[in-house]
């Protein structure tokens, strides 16, 4: 890894930790420089502003999350079933405090960034013709990897509800009332498997192929965004 690349990675790692701990509004470029062990000027060699740094971090963390998810899917014998895909997506999400905060668009962490008219989340939302989760569920149904007698939009919405609850439950319930996260994720997967898998177990290989297709489309989209940021 080149010295410039290593320095940029160090800056992004420091920024992720500070944004999660103190929030976007309270974290300054000076804070990030100090945490990363570089000068403020060095940060501006890589990023034009705090916004650009933050958005670069978002794209980088999304790529890391996606690759982690795919690794878990590939290692799972039942990786092509909806329950396994969902379970492993939650494991990947739960492994990053920054991604968990981004997923639920935590106002404590994101602060005034969410009020910007061209913020990352709004741009992504406007670019989507349909919910990505809905498209995924519909593809799984069409391939025979998921039962077809339930509305795909309802399934997708329930999946979103469960995922948001997993990363946001700490704001509602005290820790002593919460089972271990791994047990919760496995429980969600078991419920989904029993409720949504077609008779005979469904087509797991078709499911994996769909996920690879979606992952490749996401890589291309994130690559385009990364190139745009560097211009």
| pLDDT of 189 | 84
How far, in Å, CA of 74 to CA of 61, rounded?
20
Q: Count CB neighbours of 224 within 10 A.
A: 10
Intervals of CATH 1.10.10.60 along the chain:
1-47
What is the model's pLDDT at position 28?
Answer: 96
CATH 1.10.10 applies to domain 48-230? no
Token pair recorded at residue 132: 């990505």
Reduce the secondary structure of 10-27 to three states and give it as a string.
HHHHHHHHHHHHHCCCCC
Per the structure block, which two tokens stand in for 2?
């080149």
Residue-level pLDDT at 27: 96
Residue 130 is predicted with a pLDDT of: 63
Superfamily, domain 1-47? Homeodomain-like (1.10.10.60)
Instruction: Give ranges for CATH 1.10.357 in the chain.
Output: 48-230
What's the confidence (pLDDT) of residue 206? 79
pLDDT (tens, 9 = 90+) of the chain, 231 residues, equals: 567 889 999 999 999 999 999 999 999 999 999 999 999 999 999 999 999 999 999 988 988 888 888 888 888 877 777 788 878 888 888 888 898 888 878 888 888 998 888 888 887 776 665 677 888 889 888 888 888 899 999 998 988 888 878 767 766 766 666 788 788 888 888 888 888 888 877 667 777 788 777 777 766 766 665 565 555
CA-to-CA dists, residue 32 to 64, 160, 180, angstroms: 21, 33, 33
pLDDT of residue 32: 97
């Amino acid at each position: 890894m080149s010295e410039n690349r290593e320095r940029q990675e160090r800056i992004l790692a420091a920024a992720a930790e500070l944004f999660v701990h103190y929030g976007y509004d309270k974290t300054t470029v000076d804070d990030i420089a100090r945490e990363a062990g570089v000068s403020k000027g060095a940060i501006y060699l890589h990023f034009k502003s705090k916004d650009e740094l933050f958005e670069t971090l978002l794209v980088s963390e999304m790529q890391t999350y996606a690759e982690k998810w795919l690794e878990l899917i590939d290692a799972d014998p039942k990786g092509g079933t909806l329950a396994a895909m969902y379970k492993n997506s939650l494991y990947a999400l739960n492994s990053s405090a920054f991604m968990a905060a981004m997923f639920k668009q935590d106002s404590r962490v994101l602060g005034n960034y969410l009020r910007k008219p061209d913020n990352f989340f709004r741009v992504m939302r406007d670019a989507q013709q349909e919910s990505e989760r809905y498209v995924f569920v519909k593809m799984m149904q069409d391939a025979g990897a998921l039962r077809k007698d339930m509305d795909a939009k309802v399934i997708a919405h329930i999946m979103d509800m469960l995922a948001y609850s997993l990363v946001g439950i700490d704001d509602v319930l005290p820790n002593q009332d919460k089972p271990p996260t791994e047990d919760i994720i496995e429980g969600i997967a078991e419920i989904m498997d029993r409720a949504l898998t077609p008779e005979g177990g469904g087509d797991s290989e078709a499911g994996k192929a769909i996920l690879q297709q979606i992952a490749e489309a996401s890589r291309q989209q994130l690559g385009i965004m990364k190139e745009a940021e560097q211009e």
